[in-house]
Every structure is written in C-alpha cells, then in structure tokens.
C-alpha cells in the first residue's frame, strides 16, 4: 500500500515539475516576444493614457490613408506593418477590419483599423483604435 502511494506521489510530483517548467518557459517566451517586435510607423512612440494614444493612432491612420486612397495600397502597407485583415473578402461597402497585436506579458493590446471602400476600391471611410483589450 505504501509503495503504491509513493508511486502516485512520484508521478504527481513529476507532472507538477513538467507543468512548472512549461509555464515558466511560456512566460519567458512571451516576455522575449515583446522585444522581438520592431516598432512600426502607425504605432511607434504612442504615449499617454489610452484615450490619448487611441486618438493619436486614429489621426495617424487618417493621415496615412486619406479618403480616396486605394484599398490595395492600404492593405499592402498594413501587411508590411504586421497587421492582419480580420475579414478577408466581403462585399463592397461592408466595413473591413485589420488588427495588429502588441501584447505584453500582462496585457492584450490591439491596434485596429476599420474602413469601407467604394465600388472602385477607394476608401470612403476609415478610422483607427488603439487600446488595451484586457489585462491580468
């Protein structure tokens, strides 16, 4: 009876050790990943509270992609800066969205761009939002 209990205890300790190493390795990888992400023009240097940063981001988006910009140019620039389009395809006139994750260890941060284009593939509306999307 005692040896069976010791075997179970040993197995549980081994499992706990593996789980601990996995959690530590994951946290270390996430911590390192934040330093591997090079700043991009649309999000670089945003400072202040979330409302200020989001407004500055929205201004950058509207200046970089003024109404009338081709949707092809928009998507090319966004891909080059690490944005991923959320809705591939969709009908003309529908609102599209692209997101760039800038998550840290403790917080999820998203840079989101929303736009609509006309029949000729030119922007008719665009806006940006930068902000915290949940923290530990």
> Sorting pLDDT into bands at 50, 70 and 90, what band is 37?
low
User: Distances from the Cα of 78 to the Cαs of 5, 41, 75, 99, 107, in angstroms?
Assistant: 58, 10, 5, 9, 23
Contacts of 53 (CB under 8 A, 6+ apart): 46, 47, 130, 131
- Integer CA distances (angstroms), 43 to 66, 95, 108, 130, in order: 17, 22, 15, 8
pLDDT of res. 89: 61
Distances (CA, A) of 29 to 36, 109, 135: 10, 17, 18
pLDDT tens per residue across span 47-95: 899 999 999 999 999 999 999 999 999 999 999 999 998 876 666 668 9
Q: Is the pLDDT assigned to residue 35 strictly greater than 50?
A: no
pTM (global) more than 0.85 = no
Position with higher pLDDT, 7 vs 42: 42
**Every domain of the chain and the residues it spans:** 1-36, 40-135
């Amino acid at each position: 009876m005692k040896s069976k209990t010791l075997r179970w205890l040993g197995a549980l300790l081994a499992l706990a050790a593996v789980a601990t190493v996995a959690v530590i390795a994951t946290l270390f990888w996430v911590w390192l990943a934040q330093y591997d992400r090079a700043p991009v023009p649309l999000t670089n240097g945003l400072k202040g509270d979330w409302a200020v940063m989001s407004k500055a981001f929205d201004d950058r988006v509207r200046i970089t992609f003024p109404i009338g910009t081709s949707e092809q140019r928009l998507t090319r620039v966004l891909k080059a800066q690490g944005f991923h389009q959320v809705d591939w395809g969709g009908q003309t006139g529908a609102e599209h969205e692209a997101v760039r994750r800038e998550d840290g260890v403790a917080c999820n941060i998203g840079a989101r761009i929303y736009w609509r284009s006309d029949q000729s593939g030119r922007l008719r509306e665009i806006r940006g939002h930068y902000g915290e999307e949940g923290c530990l």
